Amino acid sequence: MRLHPLDRKLVRDLWRMRGQAFAIALIVASGVAVLSSSLAVVDALSETTRGFYERHRFGDVFASATRAPRSLAARIAALPEVQAVDARIVEQATLDVAGFADPIIGALVSLPSGGEAALNRLALRAGTLPEPDQPDAVVLSEAFAEAHDLVPGDVLHALVNGRRRALRVTGIALSPEYVYAIGPGTLMPDPRRYAIAWMNPSALEAAYDLDGAFNDVVLALGRGADTNAVIRALDTLLAPYGGTGAIARADQLSNWFLMNEIQQLRRMAGILPTIFLAVAAFLGNMVLARLIATERAEIGLVKAFGYGDATVAWHYAKLVLAMAGLGVLLGWLAGWALGRWTTVLYAEMFRFPTLYYTPGFGPFALSAGVSLAAALAGALGSARRAAALPPAEAMRPPAPPAYRRAGALSDLLRRVLEQLTRIVLRQLLRWPLRALLTSAGIAASVAVLIMSFQWLDALDHMIGSFFFQQQRQDVTVSLVEVHPDTVRNAFARLPGVLAVEAQRAVPARIHAGHRVRREAVVGLPEVSALHVLEDAGGNAITLPPDGLVLSSALARRLGVAPGGHLVVEVLGGARPVLTLPVAAVFETWIGTPTYMRLDALNRALGDPPVVNTVLLRVDSRELPALFAALKATPATGAVTLRRAAVDSFNASIAEHMHVFIAIYVLFACTLAAGVSYNSMRISLSERGRELATLRVLGFGSGEVAYVLLGEAALLVLIGLPMGCGLGLALTQLISSSFETELFRIPPVIEPSTYGIALIVASLTAVACGVLVRRRVARLDLVAVLKTRE
Amino acid sequence: MPAVRPEPERAATLSGRDLVKTYHVGDVDIHALRGVDVDLLEGELVVLLGPSGSGKSTLLNILGGLDTPTSGEVRFRGRALAAGGERGLTRYRRDHVGFVFQFYNLVASLTAEENVALVTEIAPAPMAPADALALVGLETRLDAFPAQLSGGEQQRVAIARAVAKQPDVLLCDEPTGALDSVTGVKVLEAIAQVNREIGTTTAVITHNAVIAGMADRVLRFGDGRIVETQRNPTRRSPRELAW
């Protein structure tokens, strides 16, 4: 195939400008990679979730109670719009795996005797479901089984309502209910310390005195059902049996995390690619403007031959499209790989039978469309200018750019600076917008660097304030039921215990007008040495004698402020409904906690001084003995370790974060390199003649490079502080748009983070400078001077 | 004013011996210089005449330290130019040579005075930029930027910039090539005046034979060689020239 001569020119132009073209392509590729991978992962997660939920009949409404008779299940099933009901027993027990000292929390979930559940059906990965005559047979959650190398046939032990039982593993499974499986009081999945064990109901009925009864129910509703109406009806039915309030699928813990993650990914797909594509559009425009300036004569000639304006404009637009097109292809490859890798990471955190990563046409088409449109938008002005050049004028050389003195600044220049520096400064003042945009490009890269490195600061800050500043206890023991406050004394006598404090957590529905939230109200002692209340700024919070202290995230969601009142519908016990004042609001990074003085809480509930959570500070050398003792203490419900919580937090977030940071740093460097390399190359091309003249006049190549690189350095220097400001803004934007009910990313930026970002961006610019410096040394003095501009 | 200069007791400022320059363009060798011997004497004004491609610019570039010969040697006051390498050539251009080109090559972002100061700041014994501009009749345009000057004015700034360092050698490549005849004469007057008043050894390239009249000596080029050397008994003033 023979290319049209104009297209051949295009190919050669591209080849000649390959360095610049490649730099622009890489920036486009970064944007495309982030956009397409985020969208592809969103697709993968959503599709996988939808498929898993559908095939395994994930429920629509979930509720638990203390003890409801089996016969109630039929009445629930008879509620309007209810399609299926699965009434079951869910209890919590401490598990024991040989060779693992830490306490393991196990959720024991009953399966219909010898059969499959109607809802939340298991995806069996190995082995079989228990036979009806196997009361001690269990199916284990896959993550836990993997973490402890358990396979069907293995045996583990459980402390079921105070009695130690041997459980034989018959199968390994996944459930739509536990895609994101976290134990009570933890934030991250910890598969070594949290297990789900499905078993026949007989053993659980006997152990928990639930013969002919259930304590947990899952409902499937018809399409378009009024979930809230069903929840109200269900609550009414369960109320006499200790119902703790039904929740919709959206609030189901595992699903809630999953949906949050998908939403975050969607937001990520919006913010970063915008930055990259905007910079790419600007660079495309700059390169094209320069090319058109050098090709005025050719443009005139081509038009004199009779080519139309549109042909000329399209010719130059194609050049930018080709650069962006290369970027799109590279971005697709990188995006595909990045998406795949991210999906694999998600597969560790979210347990699906198969996580389908089969990115559809959509994310790739969208990212390509957006990038090419951005590139075209950037090219538009220059291409139109090229088309608008009248042939005769185009063939005349352009007038020398008109510089002028800048008033007072000029006098300063005159007095202080030598000529080379004046050249540098006047160049900037001559094209202030271009200079500003170049600096803004550098600033954007600094901002992305700050944002990336800031994740570590945020993590440190969150872990530091949540796990170390506020929680001074090493071990948290939730008790099976409330105990008199004096239970502390019993725990104080356990091996290795140095300090004991007790709290009471009460599940409640908190109402503010029509807004409702489920939250535990935690009663704390007036003075607590182990649970130190601090706001996000590290200021101590003193609990008032009466009233609630809310996290600001919860206050925002409920729309209340200090001085207002909330209706607290206690879920459990006699289900009293209390009206309590909001005494204070404080900022937190993790969770949406609600606190109250323990004595006030007990008083409000009409209870004597009772507690259901014990905090322990312990001598770490005595931990194994303590664990053994705790496992043998009937009052013990769940035991969580701060160390394990921090470890799992780090393991699931920090590890992967390093890789993500590395990728984003790479993208940011691409940005810095693309901007500084292109601006230097364009400057070199515009001023090659001037620089050669300086060489002829006797300036050394170092001095000449100073003129070129001095300008670039100045633009970088202007861009760096701009980048710090922009980085702060970007961090705040990310922090606010990534806010979930679980986390708010603290927009804290350590000075060292600014420092590292500035150093990385500067080094990138210096590396580009070195590349361009070599070209200055190779300037062909004779050729440059002989040709007319 | 015509001037008669006695010959030949003057020493050579620049001398080239057996200069050969061959360019490789693709598969073709272009012989720009095919063995040229030349001497530019102290204070002399030489015009290099010849059709384009005859090698005169190549010679000027080599004499000015912008380019190096494929073979042969250039000596400035007896010292070989090639000895100092790239750094030495830069030094040589900075301290001893002034250039004027067809396209004035002013720095667009500097005023006339600043363009001259560009050179005086790095020269060992410069004159004041304003004096250099006065020498070419631009004492009133010190603060003008190149965009505000006519072609002839721009070229005269270029000459002022070239001579302000009081160079030992002034090399002009087609200094009037882009100018009309009236303006061209003004520019040539400026060159002649510098040569006369400062005594700078001057070489002017042109393909305009009329200009040869202002020279002490005329070197005619053809096909990479000096084909004829002609000595003018009297130098004519540029004002007497017309084309």
Strands (E), A410-561: 475-484, 497-512, 515-524, 548-551
- Average pLDDT value for chain A: 86
Q: Per-residue pLDDT tens for A631-649?
A: 778 777 778 888 888 887 7
Q: Cα–Cα distances in Å, from A148 out to A128, A143, A190, A198?
A: 19, 9, 12, 17
Whether the predicted pLDDT of A680 surpasses 80: yes
The chain A residue lying nearest B114, using CA atoms, is A419
Burial of A448 (0-12, 13-18, 19+ CB in 10 A): buried
Q: Are strands A610-618 and A475-484 parallel, antiparallel or unpaired?
A: antiparallel
| Residue B117 touches chain A, beta carbons under 8 Å | yes
What is the distance between the alpha carbons of residues A498 and A488, in angstroms, rounded to a whole number? 12
What is the distance between the alpha carbons of residues A73 and A85, in angstroms, rounded to a whole number? 7
The chain B residue lying nearest A425, using CA atoms, is B109
Confidence bin at A1 (pLDDT 50/70/90): low
Strands (E), chain B: 12-25, 28-41, 45-49, 71-76, 79-80, 97-100, 169-173, 201-206, 217-222, 225-231
Number of residues assigned to chain B: 243
Structure tokens of A153?
């046939």
| Residue B30 touches chain A, beta carbons under 8 Å | no
pLDDT at A413: 59
| Residue B67 touches chain A, beta carbons under 8 Å | yes
SS3 assignment for B107-131 = CCCCCHHHHHHHHHCCCCCCCCHHH
Higher pLDDT, A580 or A275: A580
Residue with tokens 């900022």: A587
Among positive and negative, which fits the CA dihedral A427, A428, A433, A434? positive
Whether the predicted pLDDT of A101 surpasses 90: no
pLDDT tens-digit profile, chain B (243 residues)? 444 444 556 788 999 999 999 988 777 888 889 999 999 999 999 999 988 888 888 999 899 888 889 999 999 998 998 888 888 888 888 889 988 888 778 888 888 998 888 888 888 888 899 988 988 889 999 989 888 898 889 988 988 988 888 899 999 988 888 778 888 888 888 889 888 888 899 999 988 888 888 999 999 999 899 999 999 998 888 888 877
Whether the predicted pLDDT of A783 surpasses 90: no
pLDDT at A399: 63
Nearest to B66 among A399, A422, A781 (CB): A781
Nearest to B121 among A403, A419, A700 (CB): A419
Q: Are strands A194-199 and A104-110 parallel, antiparallel or unpaired?
A: parallel
Whether the predicted pLDDT of A225 surpasses 70: yes
| Relative orientation angle of helices B151-163 and B181-198, to the nearest 10 degrees | 10
The chain B residue lying nearest A698, using CA atoms, is B94
DSSP A20-36: HHHHHHHHHHHHHHHHH
What is the distance between the alpha carbons of residues B102 and A103, in angstroms, rounded to a whole number? 89
Whether the predicted pLDDT of A252 surpasses 60: yes
Whether the predicted pLDDT of A145 surpasses 90: yes
Residue A112's CB is within 10 A of a number of other CB atoms, namely 15
Query: CB-based contacts of A290: which residues, under 8 Å, 6+ apart?
Result: A682, A685, A686
CB contact under 8 A, B107 and A423: yes
User: Nearest 5°: CA angle at A13, between A10 and A16?
Assistant: 150
The reported pTM is: 0.78
pLDDT at A414: 63
CB contact under 8 A, A430 and B109: yes
pLDDT at A433: 84
pLDDT at A789: 44
Contact A146, A347 (CB under 8 A): no
Q: Per-residue pLDDT tens for A311-337?
A: 888 888 888 889 889 999 999 999 999
Number of residues assigned to chain A: 789
| Residue B183 touches chain A, beta carbons under 8 Å | no
- The residues pairing with B74 across neighbouring beta strands, listed in sequence order, are B16
Query: CB-based contacts of B173: which residues, under 8 Å, 6+ apart?
Result: B57, B60, B99, B100, B101, B102, B205
Confidence bin at A571 (pLDDT 50/70/90): confident
- Between chain A and chain B, the number of residue pairs with CB atoms below 8 A apart is 91
CB contact under 8 A, A405 and B108: no
Which residues of chain A make contact with B64, given a CB cutoff of 8 A? 696
